[in-house]
Amino acid sequence: MTGRQGGLARARAAVVDQGAATGYVAGWRLVRRLPEPVARKVFARIGEQIHRRDGSGVRRLRENLRLVCPELDPEALEALTREGVGSYLRYWCEAFRLPTWTPQELVRRTVVVDEHHLRAPQQAGQGVVVALPHMANWDWAGAWACGTGMPLTTVAERLKPERLYDEFVAYRASLGMEILSLTGEQPVFGPLVSRLRAGRLVCLLSDRDLSRTGVEVDLCGAPARMPRGPAMLARATGAPLVPATLAYRGECLQITFHEPVPHRSGPDGVAHMMQGVADAFSAGIHADPQDWHMMQRVFVEHLSPQERR
């Protein structure tokens, strides 16, 4: 490809990206105006269409669920996959609509199990690292924390185009969250340490890391890779490391806070701590596999030989 052709290709891609971002933002604002039952039906139909098309994300979800629930026959696995896609589309419907909810509605629709694992250290002025999987609606969980007196900091990859990333940051900021760019010029570890030492909540999606620094754990009975960050932050600051899992219960979201993972020192301490997180995730995913929205590779057996090194 010549330099000129490459420039034209990049220009076309930029136009497509900007058009997609414009359509996305317009759809975001439109869905907020729809009555909730109507919005739910629209997204449920979209989910059915996505499942029928059987794209790469749906196929990956099916393969992940096959490892989580090896006892299922093909028909039952397909039903679970369909339900998982529907749960994922529900997340997006709610993501569009969450800013319109009143604080009272948010609290009314949130069921919290073992909240004391989080609330007690927060009330004592101690920062807490909360590790979450991609289950149900993590934005809702964050909005609940902020709305009940626990402002939080999290990280996000910088999306392209910039407008889309800015919209996501503004959306989460409207829910009370501070967002640090995971792919920016500055490392986020130091700022996260500072937030924890100031007594702030740090929430991190932690069920997938395919980088060379990821730590191998047993997740739902199969080898997988998870990030070191949550354990490293907890060890660096003395903050409790609290796993949380999420599931839908009718119109409500259930947040389950698991017992804090014991701190472990030494060269293998981080791996031991992240296995503790994986054990909590496994319990939550096994209980509600339909609400685990993992449409990407997470298990080691799905990696290429180069990625396994």
User: Distances from the Cα of 148 to the Cαs of 118, 123, 143, 175, in angstroms?
Assistant: 12, 12, 9, 12
* 36-45, 178-187, 236-245, 270-279: the lowest-pLDDT one: 178-187
Q: What proportion of the chain, given as a percentage, has pLDDT over 70?
A: 86
β-pairing, 241-249 vs 252-257, is: antiparallel
Please tell me whether residue 158 adopts helix, strand or coil conformation. coil
* 9-13, 86-90, 136-140: the lowest-pLDDT one: 9-13
Side chain identity at residue 136, one-letter code: A
Helices (H), 34-159: 36-53, 56-68, 74-97, 103-108, 116-123, 138-147
pLDDT at 14 over 70: no
User: Distances from the Cα of 306 to the Cαs of 11, 222, 252, 309, in angstroms?
Assistant: 32, 19, 42, 6
Q: Comparing 254 with 214, which gets the higher pLDDT?
A: 254
β-pairing, 201-205 vs 222-226, is: unpaired
Report the alpha-carbon distance of residue 152 to residue 130 in Å, rounded: 10
pLDDT at 136 over 80: yes
Task: Give the model's pLDDT for residue 8.
Answer: 32
pLDDT at 284 over 90: yes
| Residue keyed to tokens 């996501």 | 168
pLDDT at 1 over 60: no
Q: Using 50, 70 and 90 to split pLDDT, how confident is the model at 13?
A: very low
Q: Using 50, 70 and 90 to split pLDDT, how confident is the model at 181?
A: confident
* 80-84, 187-191, 230-234: the lowest-pLDDT one: 187-191
Counting beta carbons within 10 angstroms of the beta carbon of residue 128, is it exposed (0 to 12), middle (13 to 18) or buried (19 or more)?
buried
